[in-house]
């Protein structure tokens, strides 16, 4: 839940009165009916067709964080089941945060070990071997969550030759099958 007093330019008197909605932005009236969050961004959803976003920890700043969760299943290669290895090919110097964690369907952390912080690509390297995670059956799923925060003034996803796109690759040994 968010409260911002655009007239006063802070979480001021309107918030103290219990209002929990923003009603305008630099673009004009938004008539917001809801908010969603993703990474460190809050998105206002408005009836006047204005889609706007701001950073959760500083409403006057652009969003610079993001995250994504996606499922993976084990490789069934030649009758052997294994998770494989993640390899990232990004320029980590453009990020303040680049972390990864893996959970099972119950929300229990499988990588890194529970009690440890998420894997930090900035300090721990860009290759992650998941083969030590037990596999119950070929239909088992794990959930991979990647969270990033770009450095101030940098846009790793801009449309030029320095754009930072990345893919997660599961390394597998090629095999001939029937």
Answer with the residue of higher pLDDT: 150 or 110: 110
Half-sphere exposure of 40 (CA within 13 A, CB side): 17
Please state whether the peptide bond connecting residue 39 to the residue before it is cis, i.e. omega within 30 degrees of 0. Answer: no
Model pLDDT for residues 108-137, shown as the tens digit of each residue:
999 999 999 999 999 998 888 899 999 999
Helix (H) / strand (E) element for 121: namely: helix 121-124
If pLDDT is split at 50, 70 and 90, which confidence band does 2 have? very low
- Checking DSSP bridges between strand 119-120 and strand 95-104, what pairing results, if any? antiparallel
Q: Average pLDDT in the 54-83 region? A: 82
State yes or no: pLDDT of 77 exceeds 80.
no
Q: Average pLDDT in the 7-35 region? A: 56
Let me know: does 67 contact 133? Beta carbons within 8 Å: no
The pLDDT value recorded for residue 65 is: 83
The pLDDT value recorded for residue 13 is: 47
pTM of the model: 0.66
If pLDDT is split at 50, 70 and 90, which confidence band does 20 have? very low
The pLDDT value recorded for residue 45 is: 77
State yes or no: pLDDT of 144 exceeds 70.
yes
The pLDDT value recorded for residue 28 is: 64
Of the candidates 175, 168, 145, 171, the one whose C-alpha atom is nearest the C-alpha of residue 83 is 171
Answer with the residue of higher pLDDT: 120 or 41: 120
Answer with the residue of higher pLDDT: 87 or 165: 87
Burial of 28 (0-12, 13-18, 19+ CB in 10 A): exposed
CA atoms of 69 and 82, how far apart (whole Å): 20
State yes or no: pLDDT of 175 exceeds 60.
no
Answer with the residue of higher pLDDT: 95 or 76: 95
Provide φ and ψ at 122, rounded to 5°: -70, -30
The pLDDT value recorded for residue 102 is: 96
């Amino acid at each position: 839940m968010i409260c911002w007093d655009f007239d006063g330019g802070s979480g001021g008197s309107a918030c103290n009165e219990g209002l929990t909605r923003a009603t305008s932005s630099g673009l004009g009236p938004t008539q917001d009916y809801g908010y969603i969050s993703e990474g460190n961004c809050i998105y206002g959803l408005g009836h006047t067709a204005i889609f706007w976003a701001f950073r959760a920890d500083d409403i006057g700043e652009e969003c610079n964080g993001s995250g994504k969760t996606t499922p993976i299943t084990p490789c069934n290669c030649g009758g052997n089941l294994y998770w494989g290895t993640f390899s990232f090919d990004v320029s980590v110097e453009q990020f303040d945060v680049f972390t990864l964690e893996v959970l099972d369907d119950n929300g229990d952390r499988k990588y890194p070990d529970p009690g440890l912080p998420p894997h930090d690509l900035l300090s721990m390297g860009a290759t992650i071997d998941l083969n030590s995670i037990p596999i119950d059956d070929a239909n088992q799923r794990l959930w991979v969550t990647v969270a990033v925060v770009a450095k101030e003034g940098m846009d790793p996803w801009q449309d030029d030759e320095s754009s930072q796109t990345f893919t997660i690759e599961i390394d597998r040994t090629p095999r001939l099958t029937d």
